[in-house]
């Protein structure tokens, strides 16, 4: 077993001296050439520049407008010669209403979402996968289709009220229906966030607490919840900002009431740009503050854990209570979220060719679509628009999102990178209508005057909206990938671009596909910002809004189902690719 004294003579391909390294082929030569530092710096600069134009530019332009036209804003908002500060009072009212609705909706979501997240992570049962998909479903339903669906279910005489034989809808459009809509809309975001946190957390801690004699509820409160704290707070804030900024579904269910984002749209439509900019800025500032809070303070908040009330908590942990909790969580999910969100589908089937009440063809889907105003043609034109916009936006996002993800993972830029990392998420939480208006100010006739409202401005807005959806999954997958694999390729003689093509890119593929699908569905369903910048162009979600306004419910229903079907297929694809990776 000791070291050999004589080494065998070398006679092999590996030590032959006559094999000369060949000339590199074109692809390898190009990759080697473009691996130079200067090209990397150029790409970084280009990506950052693009990002500045995409996100920072509109925000700066928004703030600029507010500052430069402050006198105008002051006059029209606070000191109008005729109406005085009525404008400001309205803003106060809509802001107050938006906050109220967001707070209540988030609260309800937390209460019904917590048991669901727990069921999905801590129990094993048949149909768990199906339930998991159902929980995500409202996320795949485009917002205006979701709003329409909830309106049908709660607000019209064709929904739940029929069950009780009522002539009128259960809820008339207004704040309560908006709240219901927002509950359904934000539910998947809350549950998803909580699920991830519970999944990552080892069940062993809970087991340890149980062996020490803590009843289930106490375990949750003293062990699980404190560890899940950040996720709970993050999910709450995300849901809150989502609800605060929701426009597409809200427009449909709001009736004569207005929320803050809707008021931005109204102000813009009445060409009161300074006031619209002012309100947009307030909304975006609130979201930014929430984002900052999320990033900086969520770690520091404590949970009250020290005091234990054994009797009460033991009672809360008994089997009947547990079963009741799980059942209520499940039932509420089905009644408040699932059925209302999906209600358009049975509605369209029922009203497809024949009016179920009268047996005539009045108000049916077919009649409405093929009416003389040519809805059928409009539907396909706008479907084409939606597909083209979603495709092009996703393409642009990918083009810049890839290098951006690389920058955010690989470059060592310290604080500057942290800022960039935070700014990526702005479109995730900023109210869409406000962001859309900011982009309109920046790119439109009052800013750079590059894009008029219409196709290309919609694309710019959608690129900004979808950017985080592309970048985040790619970042996640790069962070999971072992960087030493790339080092290995480099030591074997591959230039950095060759390494990227042969090693990094294949690894990133599932993340890229997931991001593209997310971005595509987001763009397909985007309503709030699109309304602001659409001009005369119509996408399918806008068509739904139009048709609800003109009371063409059957046609709106059909468009919704079309959109839902499309999004659902894409969501299934997403799950498939996730499972494969």
Partner 1 sequence: MPKIELLHVSKTFDEGKVVANDDVTLSIEDGAFVFLLGPSGCGKTTLLKLISGLETPTSGTILVGGIDLSKLNPEERSIGFVFQHFEIFPAMTVFENVAYGLVVRGYDDETIEKIAEEALRLVSLEGRMLAYPKELSTPELQKVGLARAIATRSKILFLDEPLGKLDPKIRKVFRHELRRLIKSLGLTAIQVTHDQEEAMAIGDQIIVMRQGKILQHGKPEDLYYRPGSIFVANFFGETNFLEGFVSGVGPDSCVFHLHLGGPKFEIKLQHGHQLKNHVQAIIGYRIEDVELIQTKQEEREPGEELDLEEKPRLNTVKGRVREAIFIGPMKRFIIDLENGDEIQAKHSSKFLIDIREGDEILVGFHENPMVFEYPKDIRAELSKA
| Pick from 248, 237, 227: nearest CA to 290 | 237
Binding residues for partner 1, how many (CB under 8 A)?
38
CA 424, CA 10: separation in Å to the nearest integer?
Answer: 57
**35-43 long-range Cβ contacts below 8 angstroms, 24+ apart:** 35/495, 35/496, 35/497, 35/498, 40/496, 43/403
Does 14 participate in binding partner 1 (rule CB under 8 A)?
A: yes
Closer to partner 1 at the Cβ: 394 or 495? 495
Contact track, partner 1, 32-71, x by CB under 8 A: ---x------------------------------------
**Would you give the DSSP letter of residue 318?**
S
Instruction: Kindly state the smallest distance separating residue 210's Cβ from partner 1, in Å.
Output: 36
Sketch the per residue contact string, 496 through 535, with partner 1: x for CB under 8 A, - otherwise: x-x---xx--xx----------------------------
Which segment (12-20, 270-278, 546-554, 562-570) binds partner 1 by CB under 8 A? 12-20
* 127 lies in the site for partner 1, by CB under 8 A: no
Q: Residues 198 to 257: which contact partner 1 by CB under 8 A?
A: none
Nearer to partner 1, 15 or 358 (CB): 15
d(CA 435, CA 283): 9
Any contact of residue 21 with partner 1 (CB under 8 A)?
A: yes
**Residue among 262, 109, 126, 76 at smallest CA distance from 192:** 109
Q: Which stretch binds partner 1 (CB under 8 A): 221-229, 309-317, 481-489, 515-523?
A: 481-489
One of 38, 359, 491, 580 touching partner 1 (CB under 8 A): 491
82 scored as a contact of partner 1 (CB under 8 A): no
Write the CB contacts of 539 (distance below 8 Å, at least 6 apart in sequence). Answer: 382, 385, 386, 389, 458, 526, 530
Cα dihedral 218, 224, 229, 235 sign: negative
User: 251: part of which helix (H) or strand (E)?
Assistant: helix 248-253
Which listed range, 5-13, 165-173, 326-334, 511-519, lies at the site for partner 1 (CB under 8 A)? 5-13
Q: How many CA atoms within 13 Å lie on the side-chain side of 246? A: 35
Least Å distance between CB 491 and partner 1?
Answer: 4
- For residue 549, the tally of other CB atoms under 10 A from its CB is 11
Site for partner 1 contains 580 (CB under 8 A): no
Kindly tell me which of 22 and 320 has the beta carbon lying closer to partner 1. Answer: 22
3 state DSSP class of 80: strand
Is residue 271 at the binding interface for partner 1, with CB under 8 A as the rule?
Answer: no
10 touching partner 1, by CB under 8 A: yes
Our CB check for partner 1 shows the closer of 482 and 579 to be 482
Q: Using alpha carbons, select from 553, 545, 503 the residue that is nearest to residue 528.
A: 545
Task: Note whether 568 and 136 are within 8 A (CB).
Answer: no
477 binds partner 1 (CB under 8 A): no
Alpha helices by DSSP H, 52-85: 57-68, 70-73
Q: Which is nearer to partner 1, 161 or 504 (CB)?
A: 504
Q: E strands along 228-300, which residues? A: none
Tokens coding 100: 């109220």
Between 432 and 498, CB nearer to partner 1: 498
> What six digits make up the tokens of 109?
């979501």
Q: Does 415 bind partner 1 (CB under 8 A)?
A: no
Binding interface with partner 1 (CB under 8 A): 1-4, 7-10, 12-15, 19, 21-25, 28, 35, 482, 484-485, 487-496, 498, 502-503, 506-507
């Amino acid at each position: 077993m000791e070291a050999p004294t004589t080494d065998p003579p070398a006679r092999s391909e590996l030590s032959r001296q006559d094999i000369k390294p060949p000339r590199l082929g074109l692809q390898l030569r190009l990759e080697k050439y473009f691996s130079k530092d200067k090209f990397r710096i150029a790409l970084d600069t280009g990506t950052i520049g693009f990002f500045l134009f995409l996100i920072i530019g509109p925000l700066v332009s928004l703030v600029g407008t507010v500052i430069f036209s402050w006198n105008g804003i002051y006059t029209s908002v606070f000191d109008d010669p005729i109406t005085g500060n009525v404008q400001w009072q309205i803003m106060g009212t809509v802001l107050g209403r938006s906050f109220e609705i967001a707070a209540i909706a988030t609260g309800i979501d937390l209460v019904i979402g917590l048991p669901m997240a727990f069921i999905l992570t801590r129990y094993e049962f048949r149909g768990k996968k199906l339930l998991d998909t159902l929980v995500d479903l409202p996320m795949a339903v485009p917002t205006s289709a979701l709003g329409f669906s909830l309106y049908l279910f709660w607000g019209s005489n064709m929904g739940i009220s029929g069950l009780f034989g009522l002539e009128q809808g259960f809820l008339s459009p207004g704040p309560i229906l908006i709240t219901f809509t927002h509950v359904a809309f934000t539910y998947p975001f809350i549950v998803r966030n909580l699920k991830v946190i519970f999944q990552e957390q080892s069940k062993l801690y809970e087991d340890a607490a149980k062996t020490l004699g803590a009843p289930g509820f106490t375990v949750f409160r003293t062990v699980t919840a404190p560890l899940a704290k950040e996720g709970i707070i993050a999910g709450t804030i995300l849901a809150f900002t989502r609800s605060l900024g929701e426009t597409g579904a809200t427009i449909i269910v709001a009736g004569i009431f207005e929320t803050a984002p809707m008021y931005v749209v109204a102000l813009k439509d009445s060409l009161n740009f300074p006031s619209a900019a002012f309100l947009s800025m307030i909304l975006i500032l609130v979201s930014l503050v929430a984002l900052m809070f999320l990033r900086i303070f969520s770690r520091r908040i404590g949970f009250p854990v020290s005091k234990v009330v054994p009797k009460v908590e033991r009672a809360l942990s008994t089997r009947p209570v547990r079963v009741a909790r799980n059942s209520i969580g499940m039932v509420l999910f089905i009644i408040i979220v699932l059925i209302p969100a999906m209600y358009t589908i049975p509605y369209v089937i029922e009203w497809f060719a024949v009016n179920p009440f009268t047996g005539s063809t009045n108000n049916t889907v077919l009649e409405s679509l093929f009416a003389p105003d040519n809805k059928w043609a409009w539907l396909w034109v706008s479907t084409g628009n939606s597909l083209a916009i979603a495709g092009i936006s996703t393409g642009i996002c990918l083009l810049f999102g890839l290098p951006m993800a690389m920058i955010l993972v690989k470059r060592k830029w310290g604080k500057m990178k942290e800022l960039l990392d935070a700014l990526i998420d702005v479109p995730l939480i900023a109210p869409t209508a406000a962001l859309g208006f900011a982009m309109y100010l920046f790119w439109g006739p009052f800013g750079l005057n590059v894009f008029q409202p219409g196709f290309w401005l919609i694309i710019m807005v959608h690129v900004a909206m979808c950017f985080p959806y592309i970048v985040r999954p790619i970042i996640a997958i790069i962070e999971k990938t072992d960087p030493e694999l790339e080092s290995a390729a480099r030591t074997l003689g591959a230039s950095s671009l060759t390494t990227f093509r042969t090693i990094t890119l294949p690894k990133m593929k599932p993340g890229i596909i997931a991001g593209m699908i997310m971005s595509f569905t987001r763009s397909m369903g985007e309503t709030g910002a699109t309304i602001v910048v659409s001009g005369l162009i119509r996408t399918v979600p806008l068509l739904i809004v139009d048709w609800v306004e003109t009371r063409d419910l059957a046609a709106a229903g059909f468009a919704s189902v079309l959109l839902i079907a499309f999004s659902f297929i894409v969501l299934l694809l997403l799950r498939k690719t996730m499972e494969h990776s």
